[in-house]
Amino acid sequence: MDSTNPVILFPIVCSMLSALCGAVILRDALSRPRPDKIVWAIAFAMFALAAGADAAGIAFGWSQWLAKLYYATGPALVVAFLAIGQLYLLFPGAMRRFGVGLTLLVAALWVSLVVNAPVDGSRLAADGWDAIDRGGEMVAVTILINSVGTAIIVGGTAWSVWRYWRRGVHRHRMIGCALICAGTLVVAAGGSLTRLGHYEYLYIAMAIGVAMIFGGVLVSRRQERDVARSPANNLTFDETAVPPRPAPIGHANALVCVDDLLQRSDAELDRFCAEWSVPREDAPVMSRTDARRAWRLRLLLSPEAVATFDSLPVGARRQVSSLYHDVLTWERPAREEITGIAPAPEPVVTVRQA
């Protein structure tokens, strides 16, 4: 590798962008912990580490541990973690049961293959990480992870774009998902060019692709300021005029659960609520009590969540409201309310004057 090669700028740019993207996602994950954000933050941290290792190898020369560090954190494991994060969004119920095991299995398999792969020392100085002798097993696993992982990421983000567009909600998330989808395709194209012998195109494509993904993450984090239209009553609400009320003490976790639930498909929402004793009722209109409870919850939601909540059918809105008020924020009543027995009245003491 030539330390004066201007191509070194592109892995440096990739490393910086990946680190920034990972830091932004990690900040969100710390404020509102969700497994998909945690996995994506780890993925971008590994991407930054791999690109940094490549830049260090170009500038200062390659060693066996540097080549294996790049290959362990770069080519396949990043795609695998991004795909697992997408699976957490697509299939939250199944991934809660199998996600951790799947992540550990893929990571252990890939790292073991890289650690045990021999390195051709005679080619190391000239070819860098390409001096790793990738046997048939590693090649097969690389192709499998990259192809399946890319399909999951692109397919999942494209489906999210279509869902947001069809509902007419979450415009910023829709644009962000579109950028993430396009950026993933650009990164995949760079990897394909590398396999055809054009190494110099790898980080040019990756720098552009990571920049698009980072832009998608930033756009998707923007708070929606659009006017949300409620299909139930065809009324228009300006969400910027009425900010959400602060959540009551102890109800913050319940609102996080509701926000997560609103991002799921209608079938998943119905199934989750039914599992927690709130089946859906088919009544086409709300009762006065149901409407008040739904409106009380609506005032606590963010503008983005309000837009999604308003796009739900009446039965789903009633279902989510009942879940919030009757299950997630339920407080144990007093003993006399449980038994239905009123406490005995206090005796009245009268003092007769002499």
The per-residue pLDDT for 331 is: 67
The per-residue pLDDT for 276 is: 87
* φ, ψ at 106 (rounded to 5°): -65, -45
Q: Following DSSP, what letter does each residue of 327-350 receive, concatenated?
A: IIT--PPPHHHHH-PPPPPPPPP-
The per-residue pLDDT for 215 is: 87
The per-residue pLDDT for 341 is: 44
One-letter amino acid identity for 273?
Answer: C
d(CA 121, CA 353): 111
Instruction: Match 């404020």 to its residue by tokens.
Output: 31
Task: Output the 3-class SS for 217-252.
Answer: HHHHHCCCCCCEECCCCCCEECCCCCCCCCCCCCCH
pTM above 0.85, yes or no: no
Architecture of the structural domain at 6-221:
Up-down Bundle (1.20)
The per-residue pLDDT for 257 is: 82
The per-residue pLDDT for 332 is: 55
- Give buried/exposed letters for 212-234 (b at 16+ CB in 10 A, else e): bbbbbbebbeeebebebbbebee
The per-residue pLDDT for 120 is: 85
The per-residue pLDDT for 241 is: 41
Per-residue pLDDT of the chain (354 residues; tens, 9 = 90+): 444 566 678 888 888 988 998 999 898 888 777 888 899 999 999 999 988 988 888 888 888 888 889 888 877 888 899 999 889 888 877 888 899 999 999 999 999 999 898 888 888 887 777 888 888 888 899 889 988 998 999 998 888 888 778 777 677 888 888 888 888 888 877 666 665 555 656 777 788 888 888 888 888 777 544 434 444 444 444 444 444 445 454 566 778 788 888 877 778 888 889 888 899 887 888 888 889 889 888 888 876 678 778 888 888 899 999 999 888 887 655 444 444 444 444 444 444 554
Q: What ranges do the domains of the chain cover?
A: 6-221, 228-330
Burial class (CB in 10 A: 0-12, 13-18, 19+), 199: middle
d(CA 265, CA 257): 15
